Amino acid sequence: MRQTTIRVVAVCLGSLASFVALKIGLRPTLYNPDQLSQAGNSFPATMARYLVRHGSLQGYEVIPLEPCYIEEHRKSGKRFEFPYNNHWNASGHAIMA
């Protein structure tokens, strides 16, 4: 199973810095509701929940993007990575933007 991708983006505004964690989701399980449900107790999913929970408690903004990817896949059938590796394709980047 592919690991959950967590991206941390630092946005610096003058002398102020804020950190935003973007929870991307479990791929390729997000394409199949049954697989996604089963992956909920996996190590990557557990770590993602930990980062979301503890990051929020530390004052970091956490944006869960998984629902956006699931909804777009449901509507369009698009996949968000290249067929030969885990890197995002144009569709994956478009949702992130």
Q: Give the whole-number percent of the chain exceeding pLDDT 70.
A: 73
Give the pLDDT of residue 77: 92
Sorted by sequence, the CB contacts under 8 Å of residue 7 that are 6+ apart come out as: 21, 22, 24
Q: Residue 88 in contact with residue 81, Cβ under 8 Å?
A: yes
Long-range pairs for 5-14 at CB < 8 Å and ≥24 separation? 6/48, 6/51
pLDDT digit string (tens) for 63-88? 778 888 889 999 999 998 888 887 88
Domain extent listing, the chain: 5-96
Rounded CA separation 42/93 (Å): 25
Token output for 7: 């991206």
Rounded CA separation 51/71 (Å): 23
CA 51 from chain centre, in angstroms, equals 12
- Which of 21-30, 39-48, 49-58, 64-73 has the highest average model confidence (pLDDT)? 64-73
